[in-house]
Amino acid sequence: MMVRFTKRDSMRLIFFILSFFSFTSAVQVTFIVDMSEETVVAGEGNYPAVYVSGSNLNGPSGIEMTDNGDGTWELTTELQSGDYTYKFRNGYYDYWDGPGWEGDNGLIEGGCAVGEYFDRLVSVGNNDLVEGIYCFGSCDETCGGSSIEYTLIWNDEFDGNGAIDSSKWFHQTQLPNGYSWYNNEIQHYTNRLDNSYVSDGTLKIVAKKETYTDQGHTKEYTSARLNSKYAITYGKVEIRAKLPEGIGTWPAIWMLGQNISEPGAYWQTQGYGTTSWPYCGEIDIMEHWGANQNYVQSALHTPSSYGGTINHGGQYISSATTQFNIYTLEWTPEQMIFSVNDYIHYTYSPETQNSETWPFDSPQYLLINIAIEQSITSSFTETEMELDYVRIYEASTLSNQIENMPETFFLNQNYPNPFNPVTTLRYQLPNDEVVTITIYDMLGNVVKNLVKTKQSSGNQSVQWNATNNKGQPVSAGVYLYSIEAGELRHTKKMILLK
């Protein structure tokens, strides 16, 4: 396994390491292990404990980790730059080849074993890092079977220079209450290149101090607020971003229900606005307040808790405003997981899932903006949020998780949506039924009789190529697709772009 040392050898090694690195700076290294498939046994304190152990990580005794309460254990410690070999250990150390150590075979088969004793390896540089999550005794990131595989279905890499891609983004500029924005924000959002543009492979959202008059109201600050012209239900959202700084700035990457009734919002202008906030649901992937520099937070707003919601969690990112970091949401029918650089800081999984706690079974769209709070400092002049990419993925194994044996009739939102010229309609049948799927325009006229046949229970799908019953291409606009199966009927909207 690992190099063996006597107690005297260990003391000499520790003294040498301390002496050698006395003039170099240490960084924070966080180890995380998933113990959900293990029975954690008593450690040195006669209570259940897990350790990180290595020849240069306190020897075989190791360093005790902290139970996160969700099956994972975590340790953050300061390490100098260099390579460290280690293993996780369950319970008390007796001898090198005794019980409790991670098995060699699991690490060998997974391809993460290194060296003569088949240890894990972490290479520490000049920046803080997170090592894990790892399943105990395995190279897998999580325990409990295969990981979810994702397929990229929508993205913006922000290539080129100049204005944003108007086929993917909408500038939301209308003051929703007629004179101002919500949350006591004091800026105008504009569609000017001064406040949002693409250059050198990134999107810049720029907040400025300047006198600007729009819609009959003059304000002293401007910024930009983008709405995505794409909405999803379930999947993964990944954004690589560098955040602005300054007390009184409030950058956010977040989502709202496609059905929100909000004057001037993109989907409201497309006829989807039927539901008020918070009943539409809100998902805050990343929020950052300049008064609490480098603390990023994720939160959920639902009918059961909104505004000062109790559903939130966050973490400090020392490089939030100086380097790009990856902000991720993983959204399944059961939970939402929020992370930065794969380090999870919040999981939302309500014990009781209903319309009050989970308005998240319908499409949500992305928003990106920098708001200006009333606490903005007098010295503020300008700041920007920079995005390297926005990527949205579909969970390709999601059907295996929730749809193998449908218990209820369900019509998914078509994807992609908006689309041009082909989109896929997916639905689940709990029983064998005669299925009819029809496409209508917004006046209720039949555009396309897509399906009329008996189908077996299970997961079904069909594509529409934006043609009518005569095989002719139809014009851009909003369409309805309706499915009937026995006595059941369900209808949704979709948008065709040209």
| Spatial CA neighbour of 89 closest among 100, 77, 103 | 100
Residue 425 belongs to what H/E stretch?
strand 423-429
Please list, in sequence order, all residues whose beta carbon lies within 8 angstroms of the beta carbon of residue 187, skipping any fewer than 6 positions away. Answer: 181, 207, 219, 221, 222, 223, 371, 372
Cα 425-430-432 angle, rounded to 5 deg: 90
Label residues 393-424 b or e (16+ Cβ within 10 Å = b): bbbeebeeebbeebeebbbbbbbbbbbeeebe
- The runs of H, that is alpha helices, within 47-183 are 104-110
Q: Indicate if 330 belongs to the active site.
A: no
Please list, in sequence order, all residues whose beta carbon lies within 8 angstroms of the beta carbon of residue 443, skipping any fewer than 6 positions away. Answer: none
Query: Three-state DSSP class for 308?
Result: coil
Q: Indicate if 373 belongs to the active site.
A: no
Q: Is the peptide bond before 418 cis (omega within 30 degrees of 0)?
A: yes
Marked catalytic residue, from 287, 330, 384, 394 = 287
d(CA 63, CA 379): 46
DSSP character string of 229-283: EEEESSEEEEEEEE---STTEEEEEEEEETTB--TT-HHHHTT---B-TTTT-EE
Tokens (6 digits) for 395: 């969970």
Marked catalytic residue, from 74, 102, 131, 282 = 282
Residue 103 DSSP code = P
DSSP character string of 463-487: EE-SB-TTSPBPPSEEEEEEEEETT
Please list, in sequence order, all residues whose beta carbon lies within 8 angstroms of the beta carbon of residue 436, skipping any fewer than 6 positions away. Answer: 449, 451, 452, 483, 484, 485
DSSP character string of 120-152: EEEEE-SS-EEEEEEETTSSSSSSSSPPPPEEE
Residues acting as catalytic residues: 282, 287
